[in-house]
Structure 1
């Protein structure tokens, strides 16, 4: 990076000396960042921008930037950096620290929020050009795949650990529960006063509630995996009807289906349960918008190609998105939503998303989530064999 910056700086100095002299004679101040010396930057694979540090105005973009950001270079030269990437205190802070020479080069992973697009993860390198103190070079290295791979590995490790923990814990709980319930029933028969039996009933009912919770924890491991050919849109339509029956007013479920999707092999009931858990959670999170009459859930299906799941490459995969316009997942639990017993709503069991992830992983797939206020997007990837 430093060699690149010095090389560009030397070119700016050498080329602009003659041009600047001619420009000054004509009363025109030449912009060194606009000189025709950046052909070397155009052959770089990563997007590179030259930015005025004080105003954050983009004065140059290479061909890779044009292709990556889907904005013409001419348009970018009329934009400020926040217009391209959205307001970013991290990026502005990097540029300011380089401009004031606190650092020669800054590197940092940042999240770039472009208008009308999902947030993207990138490793950004910012360096000052030695010959032009107010111009910084910004190189953007997309690391979406790296971030996704690391997140996927964490989810798989977490799910595997949770599976063993849940199974062992559930079995340890079941035996004493049975003893507590049985003892409460025997005690109830021995009590002389009927009024005292309400206490034993509390013990029995709470034991039953805990037994139901344990059964739900063990559910994915009890039933056989029944595989058959199925159409994912039949699954989504079943879920849609169930949820709309519970929320008939104020909620719109938009179908954005790719009709060309092939059938997949899977357990239909498990997939219905997995999708239903997510959609039902979304509907409950939309309570305020349902009351206002503008709640919306989008069910979107697409084909994804050359997808890596659990370090395995699949030529084709189902790319299913469940998107709602609710308040978003609270930040304090956003990284833990697939943990057992973690819930963002009062009275929730915290098992819905855990079970959904388990069911999907039994189909060699994965559930991911991106959330911010106004948009929560659960993405289910399932291989199409």
Structure 2
């Protein structure tokens, strides 16, 4: 990476990777917003320390810095594990470069390897989602036309049934009609996101969550509590309110159904949490701010064998489930340039919705 002129360090503020500049005593003299986010500390706080003092295993970093200052390498690339007291370990790819400028001896670039894996996974999900949408649209149209013919033929056949056998044979034609109607409903649900126009207006995300909360509590009136953990400073934004309500409702309703044993026991819990995330990368685009929404339940967790496929159409972890709720939720969120992520283990499933803000 080429360092801009001394007066132009602000150009590094736009980078997605964390960049820090150290003086010849390894004290931090510059940190871009991505570095502040990664290290969970402001530049003002960081500037009071040597970089190696931030970590319990900082000695290895101190050695690298001395080598950089002594011109032992042009730049060094190395995967490191940085241990922090009371915080999660950081797994990073570190690039250390000597600068040899007045007051600016070393530049460090940190890229979280876990974050890179996450970005790669998001890219695969987006590609898969696009392929799924095309497949669903084409398949639904192929099914719809013959389905109408089958239903119509069954109704005509019923009219031609002999009177003496009408009662017993009508049962069979009605099975055909009802199953055709059921499949028609399924096809309509598959096509719903592509038919409905994207209606954009001002959206208060807490109104969205409150609407979903009232719907869930109306259906599950006892044995389930919904805890609200809202950041009320979140501003209104432009979006499709009805689509967002449907996306959050699909996730929350799935969670409530998975909580059936705990509802029976009276200790089922959902948590609705809203926050603002900073410096978020979605589909290779860096956003300064994003909505960070969570729907968390204390249920049994998603079966491990389907965790990587829960957003695929017709994949369900519940007997009798259509497997469309999460697919539609992901589609509606993607229409807002966002993404849904999920982490699940027994006792805690956390669906996270990220939607960029202007």
Question: What TM-score does the superposition give when structure 2 sets the normalisation length?
Answer: 0.71
CA distance in 2, matches of 1:152, 1:226: 26
* Equivalent position to 1:294, from 253, 263, 267: 267
Cα deviation 1:226-270 (Å, max 9, x = unaligned): 000110000000000000010011101000000110111111100
Asked if 1:254 is matched to 2:227, the reply is: yes
Deviation at 1:122, TM superposition (A): 4.6
Q: Aligned-residue CA RMSD in angstroms?
A: 2.3
Instruction: Work out which of the residue numbers 177, 196, 209 in structure 1 matches 2:147.
Output: 177
1:190 and 2:208 matched? no
Q: Is the 8 A contact 1:121 1:147 kept in 2?
A: no
CA pair 255-167 structure 1, distance change in 2 beyond 3 A: same
1:263 maps to 2:236: yes
Alignment correspondent of 1:309: 282
Once residues 154 and 82 of structure 2 are traced to their aligned partners in structure 1, the CA distance between those partners, rounded to angstroms, is 72
Q: Structure 2: how far apart are the matches of 1:226 and 1:251?
A: 33
Number of the residue aligned with 2:42 = none
Alignment gaps of 5+ in structure 2: 1-56, 65-79, 94-110
Deviation at residue 144 of structure 1 after TM alignment: 2.1
Distance 2:272 2:128 in 1: 27
Deviations 1:157-215 (A, max 9, x none): 11100000000000000011011001000000000122211100000000000000000
- The SS at the match of 1:43 is helix
Q: Alpha carbons of 1:238 and 1:293: their partners in 2 closer, same or farther (altered >3 Å)?
A: same
Decide which of 337, 352, 358 is 1:379's aligned counterpart.
352
- How far has the Cα of 1:291 moved from its partner? 0.7
Aligned twin of 2:83: 65
Matched, 1:204 2:162: no
Asked if 1:41 is matched to 2:14, the reply is no
Q: Deviations over 1:41-69 (max 9, x none)?
A: 14379xxxxxxxxxxxxxxxx99423xx5
4+ long deviations beyond 3 Å: 120-124
Give the distance between the partners of 1:377 and 1:122, measured in 2 at CA: 22
Of 306-315 and 341-350, more deviation after overlay is shown by 306-315
Partner of 1:213: 186
For the residues of structure 1 that align with 2:112 and 2:126, how far apart are their CA atoms?
23
CA distance in 1, matches of 2:265, 2:131: 41
Partner Cα distance (2:332, 2:114) in 1? 26
**C-alpha contact (below 8 Å) 2:296/2:349 kept by paired residues:** yes
Q: Which residue of 1 aligns with 2:44?
A: none
Structure 2 equivalent of residue 361 of structure 1: 334
Q: Bigger radius of gyration, 1 or 2?
A: 1
Alpha-carbon distance between aligned partners in 2 of 1:39 and 1:253, rounded to the nearest angstrom: 43
Tell me the distance in 1 between the aligned counterparts of 2:338 and 2:299.
26
In the TM superposition, what are the counterparts of 1:122-137 in structure 2 within 5 Å? 122=91
Equivalent residues in 2 for 1:153-164 (5 A)? Answer: 153-164=123-134
Given that residues 318 and 381 in structure 1 are in contact (C-alpha distance below 8 angstroms), is that contact kept between their aligned partners in structure 2?
yes
Count the aligned residue pairs: 269
Q: Which residue of 2 aligns with 1:52?
A: none
Stretches of structure 1 that go unaligned for 5 or more consecutive residues are 1-37, 46-61, 72-113, 115-119, 125-140
CA contact (8 A) 2:280 2:287 kept: yes
